[in-house]
Structure formats: structure tokens, C-alpha cells
Amino acid sequence: MYHWGWKIIIYLFLGGLGAGAYLTSFAAQKGWLGENSKLDRAGYFLSGPCIVIGSLLLFLDLGIAFSDPLGVLRMFANITSVMTWGIYILSLFILVGFLSAYYAGKNRKMPAMLSLFGAILALGTGAYTGVLLAVVTSVPFWNTLLLPVLFVVSALSTGLAATALCAHFLENKGKQGGEQPSEAKTNKVHLVLLGLESILIMMLLALALTGVKGAGAAASAHMLTSGSLALPFWLLVVAIGLVFPLVYYIVSAKERQRKLASFFNVLSTDFAVLIGGLTLRATIVLCAVRVF
């Protein structure tokens, strides 16, 4: 087993969520989620705090902040380290995230270059959460480019869900005219993201179970599919985090079945996506089998 625990798991979740939330509001401002989308501010409010909390947990897990405070500063100079890349990306993204929240709070238009720079940093942050695991060569199940791609897609999905939840309470007034069209567009985007996430998970498991990545990766995959982590994986990741929201978005996309879709509470669907995203990261971290 690898030594990483819940601090890293929550960092991976919050890092991805913060990045995805920023990108959700960025896309909403660009009109990519429909006209008059109510998601154009909430993601900016979420991004900075999520990354700050996640980064603190990351440093606490590493222990370097207490055992060698100057070591944190030295890490900024080690440009060949993946950890150093992450420090730069996270530091800049935190700054841009809070600046974006300031503009959103004041209902002022954000400078185009700032919002674009933030979107690039958000993509980097989402990818970094997966790269942090993928570069660990001693854990074959993690050591694949599929993992950063999966974490980016999951970050977009959880960020969209968290932003929608936040916007439900934050933007409950004033944008009713365009609410239905933008919701339909958002649901279609989420449907695509959840479909991609499902495919990437299947590819990750297939790669490991075929033995291409060795016995260690196969052991990790078996732990997920039929071992000690099978219950949270199949129940929380697959059933609640993927199948339930997929069914809702498919049903709600069909105009003639909109009454059936109304039985599914939109808020519970977003919560389900968040539960699945957190459990996905937890099971992937906890299933690690180290090979020396």
C-alpha cells in the first residue's frame, strides 16, 4: 500500500473542484452554457477557497511546512520537480481565483486576459491533481497518462455540479428569463462529461486488468472491482456518482419525458456527482499497490 491518506484525497478533490468551478463560470460568461446562465459568478467564489484549503492539506501531509519551513521556499527553485510546477500553478491560481471573485462580487466585468489566464491555470490545476499521482512510477496503477485526463474530466464535472449548487442559492433571483434554456444546455454538457468519465474509468481498469501494467496494477484494479474497495467503488462512484446523474440528464433531455425527469431532484443529482468525485479519488488513492 502507498502511504498517502485522506489529506491528499481531499486535496485532490478540492483542487479539481476549484479548477472545474472556475472553468464553469468562465464558460458561462462566454455563453457556452446557454444565454443568461446563472453559473457565471458562483464558480469564481468557489475556486479560491477550495484551492487554498486543498493546498494547506497537501503541505500538511508532506510535513515540510513544520519540519523544514525553508524547504518550502527552496522548492520554488527546483524547476525540474513536478511538485515545484504545482506550487507555481496553485499559487498563481489562488491569486487569480480571489481576484476573479472580487470582480464577480462587485458585478464588474473581469479583464479578458485575466479570465483567460485563470482558465489556463485552472486547466493546469485540474491536470496537476492527476499528474501528482501519475509520476509515481512505483505505483503502476497510477503511472499512466489516463489518470490526469480522468481527473481533468472529473474536475469539470464536480466543478459544474458544485457551481450549480452554489448558484441555486446565490442566483435564485434575477435570471429567471433564461433559466430553462441554460439549464438544458448545462445538462447536455454534464451528460457528455459523465459519459467521458465513465469511458475513462473503464479504460483505466481495462488497462490494469489485462496485465499490461503488471501484477501491481492488476492487484489495484481487482481491489476496486471485487476486493476491499468494491463496495464504495460500485455504489458511490458508479451507481450514485455516474449512473444516477446520467439517467437524470438523459431523461431530462427528452422533452416528452420531462415530467418523469422532475421526479429526480436537481440538487440531489449535483450532490451525487460530488459524492462520486470524492469517492473516485479516495478509491484510486487507497487501491495503490507499490512495486519495488
The answer on pLDDT for 262 being more than 80 is: no
Instruction: Say yes or no to pLDDT of 256 above 60.
Output: no
pTM: 0.90
For domain 6-287, the CATH superfamily is Formate dehydrogenase/DMSO reductase domain (1.20.1630.10)
pLDDT digits (tens, 9 = 90+) for 95-151: 999 999 999 999 998 999 999 999 999 999 999 999 999 999 999 999 999 999 999
- The predicted-structure confidence for 196-244, as pLDDT tens digits, reads as follows 999 999 999 999 999 889 999 999 999 999 999 999 999 999 999 999 9
The pLDDT of residue 249: 86
* pLDDT above 50: residue 63: yes
Of the candidates 43, 40, 41, 51, the one whose C-alpha atom is nearest the C-alpha of residue 21 is 43
Show the cell assigned to 208. Answer: 490494469
Residue 45 has pLDDT above 80, yes or no: yes
pLDDT at residue number 176: 46
Percent of the chain with pLDDT over 70: 84
Each as own residue / partner, the long-range contacts of residues 84-91 (CB below 8 Å, 24 or more positions apart, any chain) are: 85/128, 86/128, 86/131, 86/132, 89/121, 89/124, 89/125, 89/128, 90/15, 90/51, 90/55, 90/125, 90/128
Q: What digits encode the pLDDT tens for the residues 144-182?
A: 999 999 999 999 999 999 999 999 888 765 444 444 557
Q: pLDDT value at position 179?
A: 43
Give the start-to-end residue ranges of the domains of the chain: 6-287
**What integer best gives the mean pLDDT of the chain?**
87
